Structure 1
Amino acid sequence: MTAKAKTVTGDTAPDSINSAPTRLFSLDALRGFDMFWIMGGEEIFHTMAKATGSPFWGSIANQFTHPDWNGFHLYDLIFPLFLFMAGVSTPFSVGRELEKGKSRQQLVLRVIKRAFILVLLGLVVNNGLKIMPVSEIRFASVLGRIGIAYMFANIIYLYSSERMQMVWFWAFIIGYWLLLKFTSAPGYPHGDLTMQGNFASYMDRVILPGKLYLGIHDPEGLFSTIPAISTGLLGIITGTILKKTGLAQMKKVAILAITGVAFLIIAQVWNLDFPINKNLWTSSFVMQVGGLSLLLMAFFYYIIDVLGYQKWSFYFRVIGMNSILIYVSGHFIKWSYTNNGFFGWIGQLIGDPFNAVAMAITFVMVKWLFLYYLYQKKTFLRV
């Protein structure tokens, strides 16, 4: 799909600058690529590392874990990349409705409604549907953070110019850095960034009802959602660039790629004073995952929407078009039971130690076939 919304082959894609694209196939593919890893893709590498005992596979599998506190593994990218892509879609969804004549007030209500639904889904994912005391409920969640950060980023998009969106982006992460640098939990020195002493975790202990994921800290806490708004805003700014008319496609790719590299450099420098830390969603973490998200978006956009090579991405697009559904499905469907029912014989046939690898592969296959069936039926969970 080019900027004229026309399906092309890799040999014929024009570098159109005359009209805005109506849909980015690359966005669906990248979203599916992102979700692939948490629908079971990472387990393939974990089982391979265990089966072989190889340091090579072990080092790869280690990238599909989260560091205990400071540091960065590739697995840390999955959550912020999804939030980034929610932002990228904004100019193509909310922006299009604005162009059609819907009022900002109408769209703000729609955005708030979506955030509310995501927060509720997050509660269900965390706690199930059973009734329990408030003290036992975990209110913070991945979907809740996506909903809240998406909501504030979209409100800024609706009421701010492109320049002011960039100002807000920097204001949130610089303000957050300064706040954590000159504050702390009571009894700790200013700038303390330990789990016990940092100001963000302390505020969550004070503000959030119910329980925190780690008792004294929640990686999806309310206070650390502040810099996550910048992750959503970066996606919105990126989507605005990709939607722009009068801007050549290759120039869009260059802007995203160069900015991505610049962000990664800034992240490493900032890391010296404000460590890259997913748990606190530190400002250096925003720059790190922002840079990687921009590079991935540039790559997928270039291959799929500029060159027109779309067929290879179909596998990921099937996942990406039902990403929320597959994320919450594990709380309603016993995928391991289904996998064993259909493909348990494969594991028995192969035997130790690679039977676990085979079952990890078929586990992802079962989920994908379910999503493919829904894709064929044009059934998608929209929030």
Structure 2
Amino acid sequence: MEHIPANRLASLDILRGFDLFLLVFFQPVLVVLGHHLNLPWFKEVLWQFDHEVWVGFRFWDLVMPLFLFMTGVSMPFSFAKFRDNSDKGRVYRKILKRFLLLFIFGMIVQGNLLGLNPQHLYLYSNTLQAIATGYLIAAILLLNCSFRLQIFITILLFLTYWIPMTFLGDFTPDGNFAEKLDCRVLGRFRDGTSWNADGSWSFSPSYHYTWIWSSLTFGVTVMLGTFAGKMMKDGKGGKRKVAIRLFIVGLALLALAGVWSLQMPVIKRLWTCSMTLLSGGYCFLLMGLFYYWIDYKGNTLELNWLKIYGMNSITAYVLGEVINFRSIVASVSYGLEPYLGKYYSVWLTFGNYLILFFILRTMYKKRIFLRI
């Protein structure tokens, strides 16, 4: 349990809550409902709530970058007390602890750690692990580098990612450098591997998410968040001007993404440079909108409920992805099945995430905020 400072940035908690609400309530309920509705226009809505297959960008592709971005936004606030700390070893131990815990939670969520089966153990395959890597990169930069040097190294991360991706492969699912590196380094511990009866294994032809080389651009996404956080923490010119600067940076990043996409396509599964800039631009615009509406205008009442998710975001994500509450819902409402028919599965999904909501709401009301 952690004490929450009075000057905490409300827009950040609410925007993070919006992101988590989409992930562990709205989208799964919407998808299962959409599968039972025979409405052509609804299929277009559902298309936006699924990931792009390869080149391109949909609304749902923003959820993960926004999660990483907001990790970075909070860091200038939380790291301010560490920069002048003479005991850097203690600070680094905290950073390493958070990195390891996020990595382990990522393996629990998507790495099949709880399956206790080495044949299906995946080392690097989850959003929390991407956050862990990006956080580690950003933490080192924030503790040791001036702001100008942070910008320079962020650009250097981009160039380091770009060079082999451009000159040592192509941008096809099987021919890109990041794919080859993941297959070589992770081997059978890469998500998507399948085992044959004779004990041999092979890579799935449909799994093309990359993690190791993409860690560089994960770091850039988190660093973009730290730049937004610094702008809000410094508050130069007042909150209205800060919001305007966030909008301007967001639009500039979108323009740069459009130019870079002519050479390097927008591919979320590879976390390409153009995708990083595009998603970063949208994140800046969303942060600017929430900051303007909430921290500048003071309109929080109708959105405060999102803090239930935003102030326990890791808890919400892990519980939502790991724990299945449908059995509880089914055990107390199985009598509804004859009446709901094919929509009974919608009810089970709704009830599953409703239970999660009430758990998070109870934690919020009792001021229990779990931090890593």
Same fold (TM over 0.5): yes
Name the residue aligned to 2:298: 308
Matches within 5 A, 1:21-60: 22-60=7-45
Matches within 5 A, 1:1-383: 22-98=7-83, 101=85, 103-125=87-109, 126-133=111-118, 135-140=119-124, 141-184=126-169, 192-215=170-193, 216=203, 219-330=209-320, 333-341=323-331, 349=339, 351-352=340-341, 354-383=343-372
Partner SS, residue 98 of structure 1: coil
Report the aligned-residue RMSD. Answer: 2.2
Structure 1 pair 380–342 and aligned structure 2 pair: CA distance change class (3 A): farther
Answer yes or no: is the 8 Å Cα contact 1:39–1:327 preserved in 2: yes
Answer yes or no: is the 8 Å Cα contact 2:161–2:217 preserved in 1: yes
Aligned residues: 354
Answer yes or no: is the 8 Å Cα contact 2:14–2:303 preserved in 1: yes
Answer yes or no: is the 8 Å Cα contact 2:107–2:113 preserved in 1: yes
Quote the Cα distance in structure 2 between the aligned partners of 1:374 and 1:346.
Answer: 30
Answer yes or no: is the 8 Å Cα contact 2:182–2:210 preserved in 1: no
Quote the Cα distance in structure 2 between the aligned partners of 1:346 and 1:376.
Answer: 31
Structure 1 pair 346–30 and aligned structure 2 pair: CA distance change class (3 A): farther
Partner SS, residue 196 of structure 1: coil
State the Cα distance separating 1:308 from its structure 2 match.
1.1
Which amino acid in structure 1 is aligned with residue 179 of structure 2? S
Partner SS, residue 80 of structure 2: helix
Name the residue aligned to 1:13: none
State the Cα distance separating 1:177 from its structure 2 match.
1.8
Which amino acid in structure 2 is aligned with residue 231 of structure 1? T
Structure 1 unmatched ranges of 5 or more: 7-21, 185-191
Alignment deviations for residues 201-254 of structure 1 (CA, whole Å, 9 cap, x no partner): 111112225432234455252121111100010011111110004431111101
When structure 1 is superposed on structure 2, of 334-343 and 69-78 the one drifting more is 334-343
Alignment deviations for residues 42-78 of structure 1 (CA, whole Å, 9 cap, x no partner): 1233234333322221111111111222211111111
Quote the Cα distance in structure 2 between the aligned partners of 1:310 and 1:342.
Answer: 36
Alignment deviations for residues 4-43 of structure 1 (CA, whole Å, 9 cap, x no partner): x98xxxxxxxxxxxxxxx3101111111111112213112
Quote the Cα distance in structure 2 between the aligned partners of 1:102 and 1:88.
Answer: 24
Answer yes or no: is the 8 Å Cα contact 1:347–1:358 preserved in 2: no
Structure 1 pair 130–352 and aligned structure 2 pair: CA distance change class (3 A): closer
The alignment's TM-score, normalised by the length of structure 1, stands at 0.85
Answer yes or no: is the 8 Å Cα contact 2:319–2:356 preserved in 1: no
Structure 1 pair 55–313 and aligned structure 2 pair: CA distance change class (3 A): same
Which amino acid in structure 2 is aligned with residue 153 of structure 1? A
Quote the Cα distance in structure 1 between the aligned partners of 2:34 and 2:235.
Answer: 47
Name the residue aligned to 2:197: none
Runs of 4+ displaced beyond 6 Å: none
Answer yes or no: is the 8 Å Cα contact 2:106–2:129 preserved in 1: yes
Quote the Cα distance in structure 2 between the aligned partners of 1:342 and 1:113.
Answer: 40
Quote the Cα distance in structure 1 between the aligned partners of 2:16 and 2:336.
Answer: 30
Quote the Cα distance in structure 2 between the aligned partners of 1:103 and 1:332.
Answer: 37
Quote the Cα distance in structure 2 between the aligned partners of 1:242 and 1:342.
Answer: 47
Partner SS, residue 231 of structure 1: helix
Structure 2 unmatched ranges of 5 or more: 194-202
Name the residue aligned to 2:198: none
Answer yes or no: is the 8 Å Cα contact 1:44–1:361 preserved in 2: yes
Quote the Cα distance in structure 1 between the aligned partners of 2:19 and 2:213.
Answer: 25
Quote the Cα distance in structure 1 between the aligned partners of 2:273 and 2:337.
Answer: 45
State the Cα distance separating 1:119 from its structure 2 match.
0.8
Quote the Cα distance in structure 2 between the aligned partners of 1:348 and 1:252.
Answer: 55
The alignment's TM-score, normalised by the length of structure 2, stands at 0.88
When structure 1 is superposed on structure 2, of 23-32 and 212-221 the one drifting more is 212-221
When structure 1 is superposed on structure 2, of 48-57 and 253-262 the one drifting more is 48-57
Identical columns (%): 31
State the Cα distance separating 1:359 from its structure 2 match.
4.6
